[in-house]
Amino acid sequence: MTTARRISGAVFAAALGVVAALAVSGPANAAGRHIADGRGAEERCYDFSLGNTDPVLCLYWGTWDTAMFVTDVSIPNLDGKRFSAWDGGTTGANEYVKNNAATMSCMASLCTSFYNENYSGNYDYLYRWQTGGLYYTWNDGASVRMS
């Protein structure tokens, strides 16, 4: 076999390998970020959790002193949900939660905010008694899950 034929065979095999690799690779995985800021539980969310037998997840319109949204269940689509004024936090009250949350607090084992509906796309997460500013889902959160 000539050198030219060996080289063209190697090039063909390499090209075939690239095509095969592209054919079997799936979509890129979503990115996740642990957003805890070290401050522990946010006071209003903590107080709400004391009076509730189920764990809760709290989302805030802005910082911790703005309107908040509290849930004790996972929500696959935040469409139609609104922030409420709680204990003096009135800024952002009555605004839609979907694509408007800036911060999150977790009183469950794990709380996750997802970029897309049905718990998909990039996500931010916290563990019990943690708070933090949203990163991937800041003003883009569409679903939340608790466990």
Q: pTM of the entire structure?
A: 0.78
Domains in the chain, number: 1
Per-residue burial over 28-49, b if 16 or more Cβ lie within 10 Å, else e, is eeeeeeebeeeeebbebbbebb
Task: With respect to residue 22, please indicate whether it lies within any of the assigned structural domains.
Answer: no
Task: With respect to residue 2, please indicate whether it lies within any of the assigned structural domains.
Answer: no
Q: Is 87 left (phi over 0), alpha (psi -120 to 50) or beta?
A: left
Task: With respect to residue 117, please indicate whether it lies within any of the assigned structural domains.
Answer: yes
Identify the residue whose tokens are 């991937």: 136
Identify the residue whose tokens are 């718990």: 119
Task: With respect to residue 111, please indicate whether it lies within any of the assigned structural domains.
Answer: yes
pLDDT in tens, the chain (147 residues): 554 444 444 434 444 343 333 332 223 589 999 999 998 888 888 887 887 778 999 999 999 899 999 999 999 999 999 999 988 789 999 999 999 999 999 999 999 999 999 999 999 999 999 999 999 999 999 999 999
Residue 129, domain CATH: 2.60.20.10
State the residue range of the domain holding 140: 30-146
